[in-house]
Structure 1
């Protein structure tokens, strides 16, 4: 990821001329420089630039559209022009004609000092194309997923474990409630049994009371009959 960020910054810096290297993007400087060369630029004041120097310079947006030039060009200085409005350079390629516009000293990026790395510039050229940017975007997204996926899977696993524990706890709670409900049902049945026994005992007691009352009436009736007989005999 850090490497890709460096590449992005390098591309932006290269396009804006903010770093001391540039990429040769055409064959206009052959045989001195070839397309795909990565060259290092020496910092130089515009007044130090001489005819014959190879310089890198920024092309204003209007001239890019008008002449079809890229944002940055590497060409040889053919003539240094001093005007009242400032210093300008007439430039052109070795294998091509003179550029159709003058370059202001303010657009100077650097002067080629003789150090170049062949072919390395093709990487930057590719990354500036639509396909290259798509490729980089795919790589960035892939690396992001590769980095984030393990954490996401770990969080998902932890969430599933919490859900499983919650379900297990819920099952245990339902089991406890079911056990309590069964116990209450058994107790209610027990109470109903006792209630029935009490009611039966009450009925038996009532019957016994009735029997005792009947016996009392029988005894009292017998006693009255004996008294009447004794009175008649007297």
Structure 2
């Protein structure tokens, strides 16, 4: 057994062991699920990485694909293929000295399966990281881009912010919260549709077991005319995500959309251009 095989066996065995341990912790452990979320996220990344390395080592250990029999394409002056011959390889080639036989590699089915497995693991890792981020954030909308100047200079227009989902009982005066303003209230205050707003809490109103909030934008002269109820709360502002917000804002412009489309066309079309641009008579 060579080094690549040994490395592959170690990686796959380690990934299986870590995965088994994580399953036991989830279903047999005594810790609350919320406490396990960061642990699950880190373990998931480790498991995926080990599986990827193991499968990659298996792929690196595969022999090179065998070369298929030589084939000959006979074309007319317009470049149309008149016939294709596989039999007789060299003897057929010698009958047409101006034509060079084309060698095609045999289809490597095992290599295709390994490549597909690596791709699926990589996609799974991306999804696992994304879901872990949602779980840690405690909300399905953890990242938002501020659209107005109402919170300047604390939060500048166009900046991306990270929101963490919290219980209304954890909110304090002075916290910056994000909430959804229902369409009925938005229309009554001059808006056209439901809005997601990030403002600072200036007062907390307790009404029995219900908690409501009065808010105000740092850059606004007066408090908001509405009262934020607990069911409108999305989360509490944690931090700004530097540099990302302006990029997304630019991508929403016509020039940004055109740039994205151009990049997609290049990525998708360039391999085809190279493929067809490399055609030569054989």
Q: TM-score range by the shorter chain?
A: 0.3 to 0.5
TM-score normalised to structure 1 length: 0.48
Larger RCO, structures 1/2 (Cα 8 Å, 6+ apart)? 1
Larger radius of gyration: 1
TM-score normalised to structure 2 length: 0.41
